[in-house]
Amino acid sequence: MTNSRRDFFRLAAVPVAWRAFQSKLEAAATSRLPDAGNESYWQMVKRQFPLEENLIYLNAANVCPASRLVLDRHAEYLRDFHANPSFQNRDKYVAMRESLRAKVARMLRVSPDEIAITRNTSEGSNIIVKGVDLKAGDEVLITDHNHPSNNDSWRALRARSRRWPASAASTCIWMARRRLVRST
């Protein structure tokens, strides 16, 4: 499937769908949120994560601890897999993934084949970078605000691309970024 700028702007409707979804979440949460000053509530939240007692963990950029509920669910699937690692048993996970893909597609008002389920954001970003067919003269703007793995993907593409000379690409990326930063 070849995407055009028009296709990209068609997806501008996605934020509208997200805002609708977000407003429903906020409305549901508002009716259930406790008083922000309720220390016992925050202690209960803290107990949901198996962190060391005196640890306050604020890094969510690359390693974010899972809650006990998520860990329990993960362990359930892991036990199932190890109890029967056959292809026949693993087939049920394909159906689960496709069901998830269909749900996400409905939410975003796209077809399921437009949804990619990846292991993490870095993998998804790498897939996108590898799939971009850059031509001579194309520019890629990146910022210092990206996660390093995202920028590293673009740098790796620049380094290995024969159609996109490293010196020209380097100038395009870094000069554009400097202009963008200076203009804001």
Residue given tokens 């604020």 in the structure block: 58
Mean pLDDT of 134-157: 79
DSSP string across 110-145: S-GGG----SSHHHHHHHHHHH----TT------TT
φ, ψ of residue 140 to 5 degrees: the values are -125, 125
- Residue 61: what pLDDT? 64
- Residue 80: what pLDDT? 94
pLDDT tens per residue across span 92-112: 999 999 999 999 999 988 999
| The model's pTM | 0.54
Q: How far apart are CA 93 and CA 65, in angstroms?
A: 24
13-22, 56-65, 112-121: which range is least confident on average?
A: 13-22
Residue given tokens 């203009």 in the structure block: 183
